[in-house]
Every structure is written in C-alpha cells, then in structure tokens.
Amino acid sequence: MATVSTNEFKNGLKLMFDGEPSNIIENETVKPGKGQAFNRVKIRKLISGKVLEKTIKSGETFEVADVMECDLAYLYADGEFWHFMNNDTFEQIAAEEAAVADAVKWLVEQDVCIITLWNGNPITVTPPNFVELEVTETDPGLKGDTAGTGGKPATLSTGAVVRVPLFIQIGEVIKVDTRTGEYVSRVSK
C-alpha cells in the first residue's frame, strides 16, 4: 500500500481521508520557528463531494488512494446498473446508482463520460460538458415570439428539466451545458 508524507502533498494528489478517497485542492505549510509544523489542506471527498479543511501534523503519512479516471461510453441502464464501455478495448463496467447520482439526467447513449474508479470500482460519473437532448414536454410557445424573455421550463428525454426560450417546441433537440444545467442552443437536424 503506497503512502506519502506531507512533504509530497500537492494539488490534485488523491489520498485516503476518513476512509474516503479525496483530492487535495489546496495545501499550505505553517511552520513556527520553534515547534511543530502543520499542513493546512483543503480536500474534496470524491464520493460525497464534500469540501473540507484539515490540519495535519507535518511528517504524518497518508495512504494514497488508488483512484483513476477513464473515458467510457454510456451504453444502457438495466434498472439496477448503468453500463459503460471502453471504446478501444470494449471492456464494460457497471456503475451503481450512487456513482451515477445526478449525472443520470445527462446520460446519452454513446456519449463519452469520465468515470472515476477507486480500487477498480466506479465512484463518480461525470457527463460530457455539453449534451444534446430531445424536448419531450413544454408549453407551446406563442407564434412569432422569438425573443427569449424569461423562457419556460422544458422536460427532456432523460427527465431533466431546463429553462428554454419560448420558441422551443416539443420534438426539437437542444444543447445543454451539464455543469450549469443551462440551455445553450437549438440543434438543427
């Protein structure tokens, strides 16, 4: 089991904190002239997503988290698992609901997502920054109204609800930014 000391801390290093793989976001050393040195680190827990600060005695060692990220294409959901495939090796991986979490509303078949694996098991699924989805439900807009004054809610094929301009109609495909959940543009077929 690989361990690192506080001297090897740097942003992006993935370590085990409280039994959970975590990513170091910030690291500062506080060293009095006389006495114990400390590291103040800000970490993001990779499963819960929680961001917190830790004060550590310099020189302590931590277990490195066996965490890797890979690009996998979304295949299908079977009601219990969400299945992804490596397009080069055709190897398939099944992610549980907890790993897919909020990403579920942005999963489009064949889209390549970033899957974070901890000890080989998926812990988070990050959808592409932009996805294209069909509008399945929205109020009909008024004819001629093309100005996006406030917009209206639209339900997409995955169940996601986003605000769209009034001119968007059922059956149209729109581009959405998954990081903000905001409408970007209409996609011409």
Partner 1 sequence: MSWQPSASIEALRQRAKVLAKIRQFFVQRDVLEVDTPAMSQATVTDVHLHTFDTTFVGPGFANGQKLYLQTSPEFHMKRLLCAGSGAIYQINKSFRNEESGRYHNPEFTMLEWYQPDYDHLALIDEVDQLLQSILETVPCEVMSYQQVFLQYLNVDPLTADIEQLRALALAHDLGDFVATEQDKDTLLQVLFCFVIEPKIGLTRPMAIYHFPASQAALARLEPKDLRVARRFEFYYRGIELANGFHELQDPTEQLARFEADNLQRQQQGLIEQPIDHHLINALSAGLPDCAGVALGVDRLVMLALNKAHINEVLSFDVTRC
Q: Footprint of partner 1 on this chain (CB under 8 A)?
A: 7, 18, 28-38, 40, 53-58, 60
Shortest distance, position 56 Cβ to partner 1, whole Å? 6
- Judged by beta carbon, residue 40 or residue 175, the one nearer partner 1 is 40
Q: What is the Cα–Cα distance from 86 to 39, expressed in whole angstroms?
A: 39
Q: What is the Cα–Cα distance from 12 to 44, expressed in whole angstroms?
A: 10
Q: What is the Cα–Cα distance from 152 to 161, expressed in whole angstroms?
A: 10
- Judged by beta carbon, residue 28 or residue 145, the one nearer partner 1 is 28
| Residue whose C-alpha is closest to residue 112's, from 78, 70, 173 | 70
Residue type, 126: T
- Judged by beta carbon, residue 57 or residue 175, the one nearer partner 1 is 57
Shortest distance, position 124 Cβ to partner 1, whole Å? 24
- Please state, in angstroms and as integers, the Cα–Cα distance from residue 93 to each residue in 45, 81, 135, 137, 147, following that order: 22, 9, 29, 32, 44
